[in-house]
Amino acid sequence: MGLLDFDSDVVHDLGAADPDVQRAVAVLAAQRACEVAGLTDVPWVAGALAALAQGHPLPPPFNNAARMWEALRSTPLEPGPDVLGAVPPQRRPYFPQPPAGLIWVKTAEESDGKTSYELDRLPGSQAPMVFTKLTFPASTPQVPEPISQPHFALPAVLAAAEPDPLKAALDAVSHALSTHGEHYPKLLDEIRSAWGGRLSVPEAETWPADPGRQVRSGRGSVPMVNYRVKWIRARDGKTMVSTVSYDQPSAEHRTADLEAEGATDIKIVKVRPGE
């Protein structure tokens, strides 16, 4: 189960961050994973975390997976509290934007849990009918079980040492999320606040300081317009704001993703370039 299933915003924002931010998030995720797993006082784990923080290669036994797991098996650990596995939030089915004057309505709910929807006219609408049907399979609730946190934490350390900083960040956060289990929202809130909204987007260097300034292109002069997306998160009702700016098509695509995730009160807001 990937990070995208739990928080697509973190995935999008990490993808837009500069490599230094990505690397810092990877290291932070590995540290937090080892902390909740009770491994930070284990000398060979502490040495690996120190190497990550200093940008050095991981020391033994992390250079050999078999030896790493053997080291874990031979290390006496104090049992921690029971933690259940992480389960991604339920998401509402995604409905494409209906044509003007039409709305999606439920037409059938089968005994096996399948649900069907079709387009119908809004009251008073004379819009031409479009015959389209959507069928959603029944969802199977996931039942979390207790996890062994150290067995999820060590892969976070390995992931954080990946040469590619984006892969390191995404994989380390994913493993750290699994390590936190049912308490994963706390980790994601810290990961999100780690950069405090100060993402360095590569395109930012080309943004003009003056929002009214024209940027030359091969087809003449066009104004640079940027947008952020605001929404209320379905999981906890928290008001969110994207930490990166989008062009209008990208903002609309992001809005569709959020609608599919069950977010509400989604707004696209124009911002000054570089904000």
* 164-194 pLDDT per residue, tens: 999 999 999 999 999 999 999 989 888 887 6
User: In this predicted structure, what is the pLDDT of residue 140?
Assistant: 66
Average pLDDT of the segment spanning 58-82: 92
CA–CA separation, 48 and 56 (whole Å): 9
HSE (side-chain half, CA atoms, 13 Å) at 143: 0
Burial string for 104-130 (b: 16+ CB within 10 Å, else e) reads beeeeeeeeeebebbbeeeeeeeeeee
Q: What is the dihedral of CA 14, 16, 21, 24, to 10 degrees?
A: 20
pLDDT for the residue 249: 66
Residues 77-132: pLDDT tens digits? 888 778 999 888 866 666 788 888 888 888 887 777 788 888 888 888 888 888 78
Question: SS3 of 96, please?
Answer: coil
Task: Please state, in angstroms and rounded to a whole number, the distance separating the CA atoms of residues 91 and 213.
Answer: 41
- For the question of whether the overall pTM of this predicted structure is more than 0.75, the answer is no
**What pLDDT is attached to residue 245?**
59
